[in-house]
Structure formats: structure tokens, C-alpha cells
Amino acid sequence: MHLAITGSIATDHLMTFPGKFSDSLVLDQLDKISLSFLVDDLDVRRGGCAANIAFALAKLGHRALLVGAVGQDFDVEYRAWLDSAGVDTSGVLVSETQHTARFVCTTDSTMAQIATFYAGAMSEARDIDLLAAGSGFDLVLIGPDDPEGMLRHTRTCRDKGIPFAADPSQQLAWAEGDVISELIDGATYLFSNDYESALIQQKTGWSAADVRSRVGTQIVTRGKDGVTVFPADGEPIEVGAIEGVVAVDPTGVGDSFRAGFLAGIAAGLDFERSAQIGCTVAASVVETKGTQEYELDRVGFLKRLGTAYGEKAQDEVDAALTLV
């Protein structure tokens, strides 16, 4: 199964605040908020939603085409890192004038986050012709990116009959209902967390049933409460999260789940197994600082999956996936 992953490629600047953001909020003064937080550390890491997904897919033995826009600084080290991991970076556009996007995020002791995103070269993603970047796609994931770029890729897939997975996530905050409806209408898969799912309904004016009637399969992640898969036909599938996780940083966890789910689908596994793979990968990421710093040892990964979901699940995933 040939996958293309479109979306952001960025450098992450991750900081940890030992207290709670909520303790600094004065509810009747939110219209003139002015806050600063003294953080304990700063980690500069490789990131970006599309890069994180493509990296995790490579860890699971699947070489996907990464499609996005970056600055010339990407070629200093980041490209070699992804290439060595097994990601196909030939679909990456390098800007002549702008820096690679930057994600600056502070996480407090409750895993709440305050983040700022600088688009930089990502704004040139609208100049990427998906069909010129590659061909023969079985599925294109359209992740958070330059808004015009997301719309262009979605229209290309819809016009050419290429199955696509809609993953608007962070871009739902700015998008109006007409844009959101265009990004998700006709998607083979729709990914969101539970908050984003509610936001989609609020902004489009669609009910939950309306949303599901517009897409093939909807996948809603719920953090520590696991994930719900709503197939086009049949009853919802509930998959619990991995237990006993020692959370370090939640950044990139949703990306890793998407990669695990897609790896399962690409390997011919059903929705339940695919979601279980996603949850198992996500557990490794949340226990690690940085979105691409984790290790997926085959024996350890399968044992963890089997402990959570049973011996049959472990055997089926073992037979289907080639972890690297």
C-alpha cells in the first residue's frame, strides 16, 4: 500500500512548567491576560505532524512519501535523519527564502499545553503539486498544513478519485465551517480527538450522524480513555489505551497513533487491530521527550501490545508488521 503523508514539517521547542497553568488564570480578567511561566528545561527536537507520522510509519516498516514545505535548514540535518529512518523525502519542497516551521510548546504538570506555531516555509505548501510529487497513491493523509495547501491536496484527491484521510486537527481553530466541510467531505478516514470532533460539529453545523454520513470511517481518539472507531457499516469499535503509561510529554502522541492505525490498515489488519497498534505506538511516544526520539523494539512492542490486548492480537500483529 503506497501512502503519501502531507502536512507540517517543523522544529519543536519543548518546555516544561512544573506548576499548573490554571493556577495563574484569573477568570474575570481573561480579556487582559498577561502571563509568563518560568520553565525547567528546553528541548529542541525534530517534529511537524506529517514528519512525525511518516517517521512512525517507517519504524513500523512502511516507507511513506513525505510531502511538505521546509526551509534550507532542513537539509542541514533533518532530511538525513528522516532518510536514515526509512522515510521517502523526495516529495519535500525546499523554500529559497523562509525558515522551516517552528513549534514552541510549554507543558504543565497536568499535561496541559500552551503552544505557538510559526509557519515559515510551510506557507509554500500551496505550491506543491501532489501528482508531481509522486504517483500511484493508495491513500493520501492530508494533515495540518498551510490552509491553501490542504485544500489543494484535498481537491486533487477528490478530482482524481484518490482515497484520502482527513486530519485537520490544529487547523480547525482558525477554519470556518465551509472550509472544514470541504476538507473532510468524502474522506475515506477522518481523524480527530474528541474535542476536535465536537469542534467540527459546532463549526459545520453538522450532527455527529451528519459527519459520519460524509466520510467512510471516523476515528476519534480520547487520550487515556482510548479510541473509538466508527466504521461506515457496523457498530462502533472501542479500544482502550495502554495502561501503566508514565507520561512525560504528550506532543506528537496523536501523530503516532495515526501512523500506527495506517500501518495496520496498510498491512491488511482490521480496524480494531489497527487502533491497538496506534495506541501501543502512542504509549511509547508519550513516555519520551520529543516526537521522534522513541525506540520501537520488536519484542518489547509486541509484548506490550499482547499484554494490553491479548495473545491473539499479538500474534496477528506479529505476522502482519515488519518493525525496524
Q: What are phi and psi of 156, to 5 degrees?
A: -60, -45
Q: How far apart are CA 150 and CA 154, in angstroms?
A: 6
| Complete DSSP assignment for 183-231 | HHTT-SEEEEEHHHHHHHHHHH---HHHHHHHSSEEEEE-GGG-EEEE-
* 91 Cβ neighbours under 8 A, 6+ residues apart: 4, 65, 66, 67, 68, 128, 133, 134
Q: How far apart are CA 6 and CA 167, in angstroms?
A: 10
DSSP H or E run through 160? helix 147-160
Residue 73 bears catalytic tag: no
DSSP code at position 95: P
**List 43, 233, 255, 297, catalytic entry:** 255
Write the CA distances from 144 to 34, 67, 174, 299, integer angstroms.
28, 12, 11, 33
SS3 label, residue 39: coil
Cell of 285: 511516544
Angle, CA of 34, 38 and 39, to the nearest 5°: 125
| CA dihedral of 85, 121, 69, 182, whole degrees rounded to 10 | 120
Q: Catalytic amino acids?
A: 255
